[in-house]
């Protein structure tokens, strides 16, 4: 099991989330109705070299390719539910850094679990994600997905901007934070934001509330995930 | 700008969401949201009759519908709404968005009604919005509530929240990872 690549950054985000109260939303332009709360995860780096441009292009291609994979998955298979879920799991693991995501979403409680519990947690977490998206994709109505650009962030990750385009309606902006973890040109997604709302921070808040409501017992998250898994089988 | 309301239709699984025709002008969009307000409040009054008096006696209230986003690996919701000042009769059009999956969250499309007991909480909401996207304290306090309506005193003072689907009130408000903000286009 690999460790976090950027532990200091993770600590920073924990501190940010913990100290944020009900904050106000500001606007940079009268015609722009999208909240402008700049996440520290998506601060654009100053200056752009040729190599960076190339990597930004690769980042764009990576996310578009992932989107194409999902659309193809949704629209092509007639396989049974179990097979479909395994196909989806393959796409998920190919494109997402599930180790980093699962650890981040458990926050400080990760260290409270022993190695066996950590392993089970990551397996249950992965199953939850697969189950949720298998269900969601079954109600897909033809929304389009378009990638609009990419930029290097100050912490070395890439932020890829995109839109989900409904059949009739306003585009929904989605940002993907991706990382070349091993510096081999192989990207993995570590976070997704809808209108600047981070999915992994929201997920961590959800898990934190579950654990807090169970007396602060980190292992209770396993019970909740097991229960959820049983109810969806 | 032309299709602010059409997003409802693209995701419309709620039978009470909006008329089945896309609104294109500002006035049409506002009218569609007003229709949504009426049908949503009617639904809430049936589900929770006590809410009717509570809303009428409040300083103000806000009504939203949110539809599920189901494309690529993105999980969340997006919707429109309107805030109403009971004292002055003024309306403020709003938007909302959310992100996340969650252990116990099964509802895909739902309505949210926020009831404001005082002027300060209402004014803050319509002027600057509400950002609950990274509030761990709120998540924890919410989780301890088993009530259909969540006040979360100390986190959202002066605000009571109802959330429901067409099948009933949600046991717990789903505010984690949610933002509300005034709609610049529809309010001009």
The per-residue pLDDT for range B7-20, each reduced to its tens digit, is: 332 333 333 333 33
In this predicted structure, what is the pLDDT of residue B44? 92
| Residue A47 dihedral angles phi and psi, to the nearest 5° | 80, 145
Torsion of CA B11, B116, B127, A193, to 10 degrees: -40
Judged against a pLDDT cut of 50, whether residue A18 lies above it is answered with no
3-state secondary structure of B155: coil
Name the token pair of A199.
């999915």
Q: How many beta-carbon pairs under 8 angstroms link A with B?
A: 207
Task: Please name the residues in contact with A82: beta carbons below 8 A apart, sequence gap of 6 or more.
Answer: none
In this predicted structure, what is the pLDDT of residue A31? 23
Q: B73 vs A145: CB contact, 8 Å cut-off?
A: no
Q: B71 vs A143: CB contact, 8 Å cut-off?
A: yes
CB atoms within 10 A of CB A64: 15
State which residue of chain A sits closest to B95, comparing Cα positions: A33
B184 part of contact set with chain A, CB < 8 Å: yes
Which is nearest to B80 in space by CA: B151, B184, B188, B161? B184
User: Mapped to the 3 state alphabet, what secondary structure does B165-179 carry?
Assistant: ECCEECCCCCCCCEE
Q: A70 vs B73: CB contact, 8 Å cut-off?
A: yes
- With a cut of 50, list the residues of chain B below it in pLDDT: 1-21, 103-106, 136, 139-140, 142-148, 151-154
Quote the DSSP letter at residue A228. H
Judged against a pLDDT cut of 80, whether residue A67 lies above it is answered with yes
Give the bridge partners for A150, in sequence order.
Answer: A160
How far apart are alpha carbons B95 and B87 in whole angstroms?
A: 22
Mean pLDDT calculated for residue range A40-66? 75
* Contact predicate B112/B162, CB 8 Å: yes
The per-residue pLDDT for range A105-122, each reduced to its tens digit, is: 999 999 999 999 999 999
- Provide the percentage of residues in chain A whose pLDDT is more than 90: 45
Give the bridge partners for B8, in sequence order.
Answer: none
* Contact predicate A185/B116, CB 8 Å: no
In this predicted structure, what is the pLDDT of residue B99? 86
Chain A neighbors of B9, CB-CB under 8 A: 168-169
In this predicted structure, what is the pLDDT of residue B79? 87
Considering the domain A53-232 in this protein, what is its CATH number? 3.10.450.710
Which is nearest to A63 in space by CA: A143, A164, A140, A172? A164
Task: Note the pTM of the prediction, 2 decimals.
Answer: 0.75
Q: Domain boundaries in chain A?
A: 53-232
In terms of pLDDT, which residue wins out, A138 or A201? A201
In this predicted structure, what is the pLDDT of residue A16? 26
How far apart are alpha carbons B116 and B114 in whole angstroms?
A: 6
B97 part of contact set with chain A, CB < 8 Å: yes
Q: B6 vs A174: CB contact, 8 Å cut-off?
A: no
The per-residue pLDDT for range A140-192, each reduced to its tens digit, is: 777 889 999 999 999 899 999 999 887 777 788 999 999 998 778 899 999 99
| Residue A225 dihedral angles phi and psi, to the nearest 5° | -70, -35
B31 part of contact set with chain A, CB < 8 Å: no
């Amino acid at each position: 099991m690999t460790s976090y690549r950027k532990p200091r950054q993770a600590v920073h985000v924990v501190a940010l989330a913990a100290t944020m109260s009900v904050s106000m939303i500001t606007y940079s332009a009268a015609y722009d109705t999208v909240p402008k709360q700049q996440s520290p995860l998506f601060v654009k780096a100053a200056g752009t070299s040729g190599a960076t441009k190339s990597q930004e292009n690769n980042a764009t291609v990576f996310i578009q390719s992932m989107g194409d994979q999902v659309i193809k998955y949704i629209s092509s298979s007639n396989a049974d539910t179990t097979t479909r879920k395994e196909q989806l799991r393959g796409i998920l693991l190919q494109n997402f850094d599930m180790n980093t995501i699962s650890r981040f979403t458990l926050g400080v409680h990760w260290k409270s679990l022993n190695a066996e519990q950590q392993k089970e947690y990551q397996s249950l977490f992965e199953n939850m994600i697969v189950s949720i998206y298998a269900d969601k994709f079954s109600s897909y109505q033809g929304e389009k997905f378009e990638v609009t650009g990419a930029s290097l962030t100050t912490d070395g990750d890439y932020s890829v901007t995109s839109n989900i385009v409904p059949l009739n309606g306003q585009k929904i902006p989605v940002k993907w934070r991706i990382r070349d973890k091993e510096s081999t040109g192989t990207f993995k997604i570590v976070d997704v934001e809808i209108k600047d709302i981070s999915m992994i921070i929201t997920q961590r808040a959800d898990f934190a509330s579950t654990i807090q409501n169970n007396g602060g017992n980190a292992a209770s998250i396993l019970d909740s995930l097991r229960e959820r898994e049983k109810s969806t089988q | 700008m032309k299709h602010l309301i059409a997003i409802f239709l693209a995701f419309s699984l709620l039978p009470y969401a909006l008329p089945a025709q896309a609104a294109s002008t500002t006035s049409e969009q506002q009218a569609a949201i007003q229709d949504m307000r009426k049908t949503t409040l009617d639904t809430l009054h049936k589900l929770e009759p006590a809410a009717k008096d509570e809303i009428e006696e409040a300083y103000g209230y806000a009504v939203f519908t949110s539809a599920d986003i189901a494309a690529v690996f993105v999980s969340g919701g997006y919707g429109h709404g309107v805030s109403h000042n009971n004292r002055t009769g003024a309306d403020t059009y709003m938007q909302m968005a959310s992100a996340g999956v969650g252990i116990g969250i099964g509802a895909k499309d739902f309505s949210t009604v926020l009831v404001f007991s005082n002027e300060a909480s209402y004014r803050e909401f319509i002027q600057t919005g509400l950002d609950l996207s990274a509030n761990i304290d709120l998540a924890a306090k919410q989780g301890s509530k088993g009530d259909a309506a969540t006040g979360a005193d100390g986190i959202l003072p002066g605000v009571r929240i109802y959330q429901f689907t067409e099948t009933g009130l949600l046991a717990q408000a789903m505010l984690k990872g949610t933002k509300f903000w005034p709609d610049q286009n529809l309010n001009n």
